[in-house]
Amino acid sequence: MKFTFGTLSLFLFLQLNAQEELHLKNIKMLTHGGDNAEAYFSFNGKFASFQSNNPAWGLKCDQIFNLDISKAAKDSLYKPQLISTGKGRTTCSYFLKDGKHILYASTHEASDECPAAPEMKGKYLWAVYNSFDIYVADLKGKIKKKLTTTPGYDAEATVSPDGKKIVFTSTRSGDLELWTMDIDGKNQKQITNQLGYDGGAFFSPDGKKIVFRASRPKTEEEIKEYKDLLSQGLVAPTQMEIYTCNVDGSDLKQVTQLGKANWAPFYHPSGKKIVFSSNHHSKRGYDFQLFMINTDGTGLEQITFQSIFNAFPMFSPDGKQLIFSSNRNNGGTRDTNLFIADWAD
């Protein structure tokens, strides 16, 4: 390739961006094709459950897989173990502490087919299918227990560090609220109660706090739009901020006040910071980078700079690695893949 001033400038720009990702060392690509997201470590840090719609695996919509991280980092043709039934649509998987089971949400009891994707209607929309329920399967994919039976959307479940509690999102009370339950599905309790979408929740490292994304429609127009969309099983996730609360819902605090979409939060191993995805800085709208912020809302720092989509960050249990989704290195396609990096504070 003949170097010109333009290509040299592009080369220097890419080099600068690579150098700016100072917290991420030894980045490795773990998947190769389709949309791969919500990868969450097992408690021993050797595996990750995630969802994929990779057409090369014969998938028409998201299904849940168990990724052997060391194998995936070495072999681009590696295909992980399917955990979900292969029917319906799935989302939001998470390992139980025993390392032998994975919970996830699925619509497979309502239909073998993938539910229809939402029509965008001029605005980016997420579907909250009422047919989602939360299941627990073993590592061979055999369902061992159904944790939710109440009508409505039940999904976005994650497990506490001690392995005893689950936090999840449900519409059973008429809005998208956070709920907790015991690991066996008992003692289901609502912990948020403000109008808006509360979801994507994770426990703090000490298990005492919860971090999550939330929308808070304020004006009559915003409230009407939110309620109208929710009645159709839809949300417009374009205005969300990061919040924290105690496990019982008390001490609710808004961490970010950045505008646009701030989501996919996860606690830093110290418990004093939160890493999350945001497009607040973008003039285009669709440019999501990872950021980190102190739990009191100070010290905002950008973590990623490459590509236009970086999200779903999670620290390994020992705090030494970060797994995340990104559309970097996708060869000009629209694929989103999983990446893992050593974390440098």
Instruction: Encode pLDDT of 157-171 as tens digits.
Output: 999 999 999 999 999
Rounded Cα distance, 141 and 192, in Å: 32
Give the model's confidence band at 12: pLDDT under 50 very low, under 70 low, under 90 confident, else very high: very low
CA 297 to the chain's CA centroid: 21
Contacts of residue 321, defined as CB under 8 A and 6 or more positions apart, other chains included, come to 45, 315, 340, 341, 342, 343
In the chain the domains, ranked by start, together with CATH numbers, are 25-343 (2.120.10.30)
Whether residue 113 is predicted with pLDDT greater than 50 in this model: the reply is yes
Q: Are 205 and 160 in contact (CB under 8 A)?
A: no
- What b-and-e string marks burial along 194-231, b requiring 16 or more CB atoms within 10 Å of the CB? ebbbbbbbbbbbeeebbbbbbbbbeeeebeeebeebbe
Q: What are the backbone angles phi and psi of residue 123, rounded to the nearest 5°?
A: -140, 145
Q: Are 340 and 28 in contact (CB under 8 A)?
A: yes
Residue 166, strand partner residues: 159, 181
Q: Is the dihedral of CA 23, 26, 27, 30 positive or negative?
A: negative
Q: Which residue has the tokens 């989509």?
A: 309
Q: Which two tokens stand for residue 184?
A: 């066996």
Greater confidence (119 vs 281) lies with: 281
Q: Is the dihedral of CA 224, 114, 333, 200 positive or negative?
A: positive
Mean pLDDT along residues 40-57: 98
| Segment 320-331, tens digit of pLDDT | 999 999 999 999
Rounded Cα distance, 18 and 116, in Å: 38
Other Cβ atoms less than 10 A from the Cβ of 72: the count is 22
The residue count of the chain comes to 345
pTM of the model: 0.93
What is the structure's pLDDT at 8? 38
Whether residue 4 is predicted with pLDDT greater than 90 in this model: the reply is no
Whether residue 9 is predicted with pLDDT greater than 90 in this model: the reply is no
Q: Which residue has the tokens 């979900």?
A: 84
Instruction: Report the share of the chain in percent with pLDDT over 90.
Output: 91
Contacts of residue 238, defined as CB under 8 A and 6 or more positions apart, other chains included, come to 123, 124, 260, 261
Q: Is the dihedral of CA 34, 37, 43, 44 positive or negative?
A: positive
Whether residue 285 is predicted with pLDDT greater than 70 in this model: the reply is no
Mean pLDDT along residues 38-44: 98
| Segment 117-163, tens digit of pLDDT | 988 877 889 999 999 999 999 999 999 999 999 999 999 999 999 99
Mean pLDDT along residues 58-77: 97
First to last CA, the chain: 38
Whether residue 18 is predicted with pLDDT greater than 90 in this model: the reply is no
